[in-house]
Amino acid sequence: MGKVVMADSIAHLPEFAAWYKVIKDTLADIDLGKLLIYIIDTVDASLLPALAEQFDVLGYKGFKLAQTEFDQRQIIKRAIELHKYKGTEWAIKEALKSIGFADIELIKTGYDHWAKFGIRITNEALQLTDNAFFDITQMVKEYKRAVCVLEEIRVTIQVEDALFVEDVSASVLAAISAEDTINLSGIIKYDGQEEFDGSHDFSSDEDVATISEI
């Protein structure tokens, strides 16, 4: 009875000892890891939306733009930091990094007003959709200073690939030029300004690459 966590006044009673054993055996079967919901790296994925709501990073504050479960966990883990430094350049950069963008630079010169700024993003892995620029703009609005105006977004897409030549008699020159054209349809607002005359196909855009040897 030395390991029994019961009051001395009832520990000797058989009926209470039986209840204690049942409760102890039941609790022993519970996976305590599932109760540690604030260990964000290991918590069950089904709880992530609830945690995002609790830490106030739902929607364009980050969770909506996270394309992978890993990014969802990252934005929740950084929620307190992001809210603490909201309104700073650091918060804008770190918010965008937390959803997968690799390199973010704020452009603060070259505009006709001190409050205007731009963003230059280097993208290596994220899939950009028709609404990518709108989504980025909305996220930046959540973390920028209220007086500042986002004037432009520049995205550099960085791609690395390997070229294999199967013909042993063929030769590959040292330099290869790649021209990559990406067509984005932009944002269409139903505000009476757009004409639905066939100029917009409302389909997914294409990424067309033309590669030529020099």
Q: How far apart are CA 105 and CA 118, in angstroms?
A: 8
Q: Where are the domains of the chain?
A: 1-30, 31-213
- Average confidence score pLDDT of the chain: 77
Decide which of 178 and 16 is more confident.
Answer: 16
pLDDT at 2: 45
Question: Residue 122 has what pLDDT?
Answer: 83
Lowest-confidence segment of 108-112, 131-135, 142-146, 189-193 by average pLDDT:
189-193
What's the pLDDT band for 118 if we cut at 50, 70, 90?
very high
Give tens-digit pLDDT for 164-175. Answer: 666 666 555 555
pLDDT at 91 over 70: yes
pLDDT at 63 over 80: yes
Q: What is the pLDDT of residue 76?
A: 93
Lowest mean pLDDT among 68-82, 133-147, 154-168: 154-168
**Res 189 pLDDT > 50:** yes
Question: Residue 66: what pLDDT?
Answer: 87
Q: Higher-confidence residue: 170 or 38?
A: 38
- Furthest-apart CA pair in the chain: how many Å? 93
pLDDT value at 102 more than 90: no
DSSP the chain: -TT--S-HHHHT-HHHHHHHHHHHHHHHTS-GGGG-TT-TTTS-GGGHHHHHHHTT--GGGTGGG--SHHHHHHHHHTHHHHHHTTTSHHHHHHHHHHTT--EEEEE-SSSSSTTEEEEEEEESSPPP-TTHHHHHHHHHHHHS-TT-EEEEEEEEEP---------TT----S-EEEEEEE--------SS----SSS---S---EEEEEEE-
Where is average pLDDT lowest: 87-91, 118-122, 184-188? 184-188
By the 10 Å C-beta count (0-12 exposed, 13-18 middle, 19+ buried), 178 is classed as exposed
Q: Which pLDDT value is given to residue 214?
A: 46
Indicate whether 41 pLDDT > 70: yes
What six digits make up the tokens of 69? 């479960």
Instruction: Inform me whether the pLDDT recorded for 179 exceeds 60.
Output: no
In the predicted structure, residue 56 carries a pLDDT above the cut 90: yes
Backbone dihedral region of 173: left (phi > 0), alpha (psi from -120 to 50 degrees) or beta? beta
The band of 15, judged by pLDDT with boundaries at 50, 70 and 90, is confident
> For the whole model, what pTM was predicted?
0.57
